[in-house]
A = this chain, B = another copy of it.
Amino acid sequence: MKHKEDYYKLRSEIIKAMSHPSRLFIIEEISKGEKCVCELTDMIGADISTISKHLSVLKKAGIVTDRKEGTTVFYRLRVECIMDFMNCIDNVMKSNAKTSSNAARCCK
C-alpha cells in the first residue's frame, strides 16, 4: 500500500456510499430522471430524515447532485457511468447464481 493508501481510501468511500439497498434504489430511480426527496421517500417507505441522510451520503461522495425549486429539492446522477457499473454487479450475481456453492453462501 503505502503511497497509494489515500487513493484506495477515496475509492472505497465512493463505493461505500453505494453499498446500501436504499441508496442503490435511489441511484437506479434517479438514473431515469430527477426525483425529489418526498417522491423517493414514498417509494422506499422509510422516514424522510433517513432518506435525506442517504441522499447526503450520495452527494458527499459526488455520485448525485441536487437542484432546489421552491421548497422541493430534486436529486439527479452526477456521473453517467454509474449505471454500467450496476451491470457488472449483476454479472457477479448471475455468476453467483450459476455456482451453487457461492450462491448458497452469498445469497442466503
A residues with CB within 8 A of B:
1, 4-5, 8-16, 18-25, 43-45, 59-63, 78-79, 81-82, 84-93, 95-96, 99, 102, 105-107
Contact = CB atoms under 8 A, between A and B. Distances in A.
Interface SS of chain A: helix
- A10, A21, A86, A91 pick with most chain B CB within 10 angstroms: A21
17 contacts: A1-B45, A5-B21, A8-B22, A8-B25, A10-B107, A12-B19, A12-B23, A13-B106, A16-B16, A16-B19, A62-B92, A62-B106, A63-B92, A78-B92, A79-B92, A81-B91, A84-B88
Contacts of A8: 21-22, 24-25
